[in-house]
Structure 1
Amino acid sequence: MLVAVPAHAAGLPAVSGIPVDFILFALTLLGVALFHHHTLKVALTGLAVISLYKIGFTGFNEGAGVTGWLAHLQHEWVVLTNLLGLLVGFALLARHFEDSGVPHVLPRFLPDDWKGAFVLLVMVFVLSSFLDNIAAALIGGTVAATVFRRRVHIGYLAAIVAASNAGGSGSVVGDTTTTMMWIDGVAPLDVTHAYVAAVVALMVFGLIAARQQQAWQPIQKDASAGKHVDWVRLGIVTWILAAAIVTNVTVNTRFPEISDSFPFLGAAVWVAIVLAAPLRKAEWSLLPDALKGSIFLLSLVMCASMMPVEKLPPASWQTSFGLGFISAVFDNIPLTALALTQGGYDWGVLAYAVGFGGSMVWFGSSAGVALSSLFPEAKSVGAWLKGGWHVALAYVIGFFFMLAVVGWHPHTPHKAETAAPVAVQPAH
């Protein structure tokens, strides 16, 4: 369970021992949950209120007042710009993949009964390992809408989001949270053991959700007849992903001293998109909505970066387990930002917790937010919890299976400027 340490010792304003910073952040996230039709306004308002509070009362690690705020922005601009480039760029990449015809051809290879629904979730899982969880969820939703004739059970929608988040949890190009870890300096191999838990979780929620969907609306494989693959568009998808992977590996392994000075990853994605434009036109009309959604997420990340993380509990498997549940309502992107600033986690365990844990509620992950744009009925917390109860069950089973098989192996802080020394606890 996540409990704030009393702030009076550090002289920070607090209510019942909880720093006001966290209270303001929690209210912002509560507003996002309650007013899901006005999420951008709520996030920007929260960012403005927290910024003004920090400027007027507590200051920043970089200094006090407006000067400290500007210095903090300068410190965070590379991470924020990288995320902006990836989030908006992957929206175009997802459309390239959709227009390639692959999502429409895939149903030909699906079994006719509940096993077809399960295999589709497996496909989403695999796609998410290299295609980003947002793109994988949108592709999975597009295929599901086709083969189930738009009658998709909300429990199955939750499973699509869960499959995309589980598949991306062990890959630094598969989830926004793991990409954040990579951008921040975490080694790609340090998150791969998240798959130990993710595969188990997939078996749990996938089998249940597949039977839910079969009972609700059986699969219709003939919907894909006459569709063909556009190999040029599929090549563009591969080209963009390759540009991102090669750039990030090169910068972080050969030139780590400049990795924090420029948003190389985001820039690489956009250079690749622009260079591929003469071959197939990108769907530029997606940019306004993608930009709006990205600003919403970046506002939450910026809010998280201003939290007094030295007041968080010590990094431990218990804390990671609790963060999984909190990510369902707290949004896993700012949670990851907090954990990265704190340091000292087993990054694979944390990647599974905050990545998959966000699937338990529709707005707990960017994949859920994206899929809800295709299926507005998903924007009901009650219906999501009732239909997708198996996701929470799968999270718990997967987490403790990973802990039993792999254990808890915390990594030393990967950056010298980590906010405070972090105590780590061994697994019992």
Structure 2
Amino acid sequence: METIIVIVFVLGYLAITLEHNLKIDKLIPALGMMSILWAIIALTGLPVFEVNMDLKELEQGSMEGILLHHLGKTAEILVFLLGAMTIVEIIDYFDGFATIKSFIKTKKKSKLLWIVSSLAFVLSAIIDNLTATIVLITILQKLIKERDLRLWFAGLIIIAANAGGAWSPIGDVTTTMLWIANKVTASVLVEHVLIPSIFCFVVPTFIASRMSVFKGSIEDDGSDNDMPKSKYGGIMFYLGLGAIIFVPIFKSVTHLPPYVGMMLSLAFVAAFAEIYSSSKFNITTIDGGEGEAAGHHSPVHSSLSKIELPSILFFLGILLAVAALESLGMLFHFAEGLNASVPGLGTELHSTAVSDLVVLILGVGSAVIDNVPLVAASIGMFQIGLDEPAWHFIAYSAGTGGSMLIIGSAAGVVAMGMEKIDFFWYFKKISWLAMIGFLSGAVVFVLMRNFILNV
């Protein structure tokens, strides 16, 4: 029966990876795979287990209890993401991201490259790499009329955005997963991964800035005359970013789960949004009539309607599908087998050259396979302590490795859609730069871990 479980998972995984070829949204196979796996467990009465972190062994439990446990852990991530997405949409409602345009004063291509790459790196650490990519490509579409040149800028933005998301607990879904699962703390993650991430985006940006495509200046298209849609855009931009940054601080002070802090931040930002919009505070309509009008014009209501629910459902499906394998003990036994066959690796995943190679392979694999299930599987496989260097290296590799192919990250996929970037164009022009950046950051991480941080 376990063979059937593995086959279902592999087929579902393959359908997720080939979503562009199959033209089927990846949430469909993710939800289907999750439901089928748990249905098989329920119908066949397979024993389910939970990993005892203290004894490093499996403890059998009831299916309902263990499924509820995994649903609770998954819900923490999903509620956190819902809050963050809503805050970002509220900022966009007030055209707050137009504030970023004030930082761009140059027409010189190489200087503009450094500005947008740096903005992508910083913004992705706060509002996540996907949103940062959308915002900056939208701005570039107003600044640069030449599409071929925009493609180059978009490629470097993808690299910088993924690098920026890797060092922040709120910058990428995978780092958020590790943070919420208590594998890393925000401060130590930043300490270990920030500098390698900087190298990951600075090295390819430096190389690209010396290339002929970034020589000279862009043509002035008069876009500097664009007026912001709302006079509160700047205020909501900084208010929203500050509220998101507040979440890790709230967690460190109260020791409550991150989603609690995110809900507090959302309430704060939503209150100001309602005040500035002169609308009644009404997220859902009550009696119709005047309530419907107020709800319709509410920035919070509008923002909630624009949230990427397909992404939320995809995360639900893939995380609970991986949880099914974990509950059957498959990931635990796989890690034990890995420990027996590969010296120096295994469930302890000590910082050896062998374990470093495995994590690097995980990073390269994230360019082909979605990094969310890879990190979810890693969390289930390796039972090592809080803030072990291996977790930080996994966060770096999974977060930045996806830049090597345009389909390897959410940032790449959205850029592909916005600018109609060809897969093979990206592979020929950008992939080698992304690989150089990925390896540069990895080398810096290992050197820092072994000789500076002494861990």
Q: Which TM-score band applies after superposition, normalised by the shorter structure? A: 0.7 to 0.9
- Range 276-285 or range 134-143, more displaced: 276-285
Q: Which has the larger radius of gyration?
A: 2
Going from structure 1 to structure 2, the CA distance change for 1:372 and 1:52 (only over 3 Å counts) comes to: farther
TM-superposed deviation, 1:323: 1.3
Equivalent-residue separation in structure 2 for 1:332 and 1:97 (angstroms): 32
Aligned equivalent of 2:260: 264
**Is the contact made by 1:133 and 1:167 (CA closer than 8 Å) also made in structure 2?**
yes
Alignment of 1:18-417 (within 5 A): 19-20=6-7, 23-32=10-19, 34-36=21-23, 38-57=25-44, 58=46, 60-61=48-49, 63=61, 68-86=66-84, 88-93=85-90, 95-96=92-93, 98-108=95-105, 110-149=106-145, 151=147, 152-185=149-182, 186-192=184-190, 193-210=192-209, 214=213, 219-227=218-226, 232-254=232-254, 256=255, 259=257, 263-278=259-274, 279-280=276-277, 282=299, 284=302, 287-288=305-306, 290-308=308-326, 309-310=331-332, 311-312=334-335, 313=338, 314=346, 315=349, 316-341=355-380, 342-344=382-384, 345-346=388-389, 347-375=391-419, 377-378=420-421, 380-389=422-431, 390-407=433-450
Is contact 2:96-2:237 (8 Å) kept?
no
C-alpha contact (below 8 Å) 1:14/1:20 kept by paired residues: yes
Question: For the residues of structure 1 that align with 2:407 and 2:158, how far apart are their CA atoms?
Answer: 10
Give the 3 Å change call, closer, same or farther, for CA 374–385 of structure 1 in structure 2.
same
Q: TM-score, normalised by structure 2?
A: 0.74
Shift in Å at residue 188 of structure 1?
0.7
5+ residue gaps in structure 2? 51-60, 278-297, 339-345, 350-354
Opposite residue 80 of structure 2, the aligned amino acid is N
Displacement of 1:253: 3.6
For residues 167 and 277 of structure 1, do their structure 2 counterparts lie closer, same or farther at Cα, with a shift above 3 Å needed? Answer: same
**What is the root-mean-square deviation of aligned Cα atoms in Å?**
3.5
Alpha-carbon distance, 1:38 to partner: 2.6
More deviation, 207-216/283-292: 207-216
Give, in angstroms, the shift of residue 362 of structure 1. Answer: 2.9
2 CA distance for matches of 1:293 and 1:409?
A: 39
- Aligned length in residues: 391
Residues 339-386 of structure 1: CA deviation (Å, up to 9, x unaligned):
3343435233222111111222233323233333422x23x5333322
Is the 1:177–1:336 Cα contact (8 Å) retained in structure 2?
Answer: yes
Q: Does structure 1 retain, via aligned residues, the 8 Å contact 2:368–2:408?
A: yes
Contact 1:162-1:356 at 8 Å conserved across structures: yes
What amino acid does structure 2 have at the position aligned with 1:367?
A: A
Secondary structure in 2 aligned to 1:38?
A: coil
Please give the alpha-carbon distance, in whole angstroms, between the structure 2 residues aligned to 1:49 and 1:31.
20
Paired amino acid for 2:357: Q
Distance 1:354 1:334 in 2: 10
- Give the whole-Å Cα distance in 2 for the aligned partners of 1:305 and 1:408: 37
Residue in 2 that maps onto 1:419: none
The normalised TM-score by structure 1 is 0.78
Measured against aligned partners, the alpha-carbon deviations of 1:275-301 in whole angstroms (never above 9, x if no partner) come to: 122214638267346222332333323
Gaps of 5+ in 1: 1-11, 411-425
Contact 2:243 2:266 in 1 (8 A): no
Q: Give 3-state SS (helix, strand or coil) of 1:61's partner.
A: strand
Q: 1:178 to 1:75 in 2, by over 3 A?
A: closer
Between the two proteins, what is the percent identity of the paired residues? 22
1:164 deviates by 0.8
- Alpha-carbon distance, 1:116 to partner: 1.9
